[in-house]
Structure 1
Amino acid sequence: MPSAGLGVWKIDPSEVGAVVSTAIELGYRHLDCACDYGNEEGVGDGIQDAIGTGVCSRDELWVTSKLWNTYHAPEHVRPALQKSLADLGLEYLDLYLMHFPISLMYVPIESRYPPGWIFDPDAEHPRMEFAPVPIHETWQAMEELVTEGLVKNIGVCNFSTGLIRDLLSSARIRPSVLQVELHPYLTQEKLLRYCQQEEIAVTGFSPLGALSYVPIGMAEKKESVLEEDAVIKIAERLDKTPAQVVLRWGVQRGTSIVTKTSSKERLKENLNIFDFELTEEEMQAISELNQNRRFNDPGEFGPAAFDTFCPIYD
């Protein structure tokens, strides 16, 4: 799995094809997608454009997608994957992740897609509706996708060490990857150490922290790690941008990162992080910025956005 990838969360469906095509042309080979992002058809257009023009071959790409919360029942896992494959125009995925350890009531694909968080948007009081599906049952259905050759690897998102430990106790195929929020304000040292011990690769989403969340009201500009003196000083020493320094910190600690942008210049900048290294002291200085600040927390945004308290982190 390439250590730097393009995440397509919040990229407009009408723009994402061109963004993906440009990213691949610039050298990106890792694409992080999801049913819930609502733009996989556009991503597929970008992939097919890049392959069709000879920029890359399918086997040079690492394409990830994610199983949404409404498809956790075993009988819904395969149809959900097939929908993503059809939208992406692919015969297989390199990685399929369980998006959240949250099982919601099933919404048929033909009724609403992507289904989102709310079961019935037309209800008098729209809210999330939970379904009692054990994680191990969902996982067993995902294992069958590997057996059938529809996905090469399976993994999880937004899991704690406790949930991973429980999953490992019954899994026939161990999770290859854990994807979680990771940035200098949320370093998750124990979780990373545990995954290294269990040989589970870790991908960090929102590697620049607050920047992804300011436009949607889930963070404030003043919470940007790029304004930290420690980051700015390192950037000045290296003649790099603060963003490049923070992204380098992410890959240098052994994780992969997925960044989101629609700008060609930002695409270049975010990929240009492999011609320099941070010293041990600089790595430590950035890690010491940790505040255990989580921007993407269903326990926080659930009540306000979906009238439902849905904590998954203690």
Structure 2
Amino acid sequence: MSTRNPFLTLNNGVQMPALGLGVFQSTPEQTSSSVVAALVRGYRLIDTAAAYLNERQVGEAIARSGVPRSDVFVTTKLWISDYGYERALRAFDVSLRKLGLEYIDLYLLHQPLPSDFEATVGAYQAAEKLLADGRVRAIGVSNFSPKQLEDLAARTRVVPAVNQVEVHPFFTQRELRAHHARHGIVTQAWSPLGGVNVYMPGDPKAVKNPLAHPVVVVLSEKYRKTPAQVVLRWHVQSGLSAIPKSVRPERIAENFDVFDFALTAEEGAAIDALDTGVRGGPPAEVVDSMRFSISIPD
């Protein structure tokens, strides 16, 4: 059993840390301090996005942390308002400038845009150019279904290295993960602790929190770990990448302290069995520029 954060080898040979820090819904002020706290604690993967409006603070925190740039794996994402080939290239330049970096490790399309898949394809083709030019080390997507991945593959040349999607014990995405495995795509989990069910519940009277499930609680007691640590260990042992978000230094440290124990195969299967097949976030089919009208400032 490794006591260090493992690396996942992407389909182009680039290595990505399995466990990282996400900064979705972190304010600019919170982002700077949380990223520094994470890097000091040993995190080496930081995940942001143009639409989070905190790329600048991520870059400032990396510079302030004292950790060499080459040791930090930085992910950011292109928002749907900038889809299309030329718009995507311009938006990348904006993100790079805000981050204050010379390159980005992983550049993702934030969502498929079913209402304008032509623009989605154009954006990904721009990402392919950025990869060919050496301005990014790997490219991928987020929130794509198997069908959308197939449609994208029919129009592009580079297989996405990563598909970042909702995955947690109540929504394990077995079919999508199997599709990823067949095509050499790493599954990266947003909301890996199931927080989307808490802060954005479909039914406020029926909030479903995986961390409160008896299976997870019993395991946390057995291993003298928190429920969150048990679930993050499940992600790591399942071969997934996970990017839990926190702005509290003690929770950031706790989320990284998952490499000194291991779940048995039976315990992992018990967590797998908690799957409800019900997502907490919106399905990709409903994403369009009218419903999600964020505009990214320069």
Shared topology, TM-score over 0.5?
A: yes
SS of 1:4's partner is: coil
Identity rate, percent: 39
Superposition deviation, residue 142 in structure 1: 1.1
Residue aligning to 2:255: 270
1:13-34 CA-partner distances (Å, limit 9, x unpaired): 1221111111100101000000
Q: Structure 1: any 5+ residue segments left out of the alignment?
A: 104-129, 309-314
Superposition deviation, residue 133 in structure 1: 2.9
How many residue pairs get aligned? The number is 276
Mapped partners of 1:161, 1:67: distance in 2: 20
Asked if structure 2 preserves the Cα contact closer than 8 Å seen for 1:219 and 1:295, the reply is: no
Residue aligning to 1:108: none
Residue aligning to 1:101: 112
Asked if structure 1 preserves the Cα contact closer than 8 Å seen for 2:233 and 2:258, the reply is: yes
Identify which of 129, 133, 139 aligns with 1:148. Answer: 133
Asked if structure 1 preserves the Cα contact closer than 8 Å seen for 2:21 and 2:47, the reply is: yes
Mapped partners of 1:61, 1:176: distance in 2: 18
1:116-151 CA-partner distances (Å, limit 9, x unpaired): xxxxxxxxxxxxxx6563433222111011112111
Identify which of 31, 35, 38 aligns with 1:20. Answer: 35
Opposite residue 90 of structure 1, the aligned amino acid is L
Superposition deviation, residue 222 in structure 1: 3.6
Change (3 A) 1:21 1:219: farther
Residue aligning to 1:206: 191
Residue aligning to 1:88: 99
Q: Which has the higher contact order (CA 8 A, sep 6+)?
A: 2
1:196-232 CA-partner distances (Å, limit 9, x unpaired): 11111110000011x2453456564741111111111
1:27-79 CA-partner distances (Å, limit 9, x unpaired): 010000000001111111101101xxx3x211111000001001111110111
Mapped partners of 1:206, 1:140: distance in 2: 28
Asked if structure 2 preserves the Cα contact closer than 8 Å seen for 1:244 and 1:272, the reply is: yes
Q: Structure 2: any 5+ residue segments left out of the alignment?
A: 1-15, 293-298
Mapped partners of 1:237, 1:176: distance in 2: 36
Mapped partners of 1:9, 1:48: distance in 2: 20
- Is 2:69 the partner of 1:69? no
Asked if structure 2 preserves the Cα contact closer than 8 Å seen for 1:2 and 1:256, the reply is: yes
Change (3 A) 1:136 1:307: closer
Mapped partners of 1:247, 1:15: distance in 2: 22
Question: Which structure has the bigger radius of gyration?
Answer: 1
Superposition deviation, residue 167 in structure 1: 2.1
Asked if structure 1 preserves the Cα contact closer than 8 Å seen for 2:164 and 2:190, the reply is: yes
Mapped partners of 1:218, 1:12: distance in 2: 24
Superposition deviation, residue 298 in structure 1: 5.0
Mapped partners of 2:110, 2:291: distance in 1: 20
Mapped partners of 1:251, 1:162: distance in 2: 26
Opposite residue 287 of structure 1, the aligned amino acid is D
Mapped partners of 1:299, 1:146: distance in 2: 25
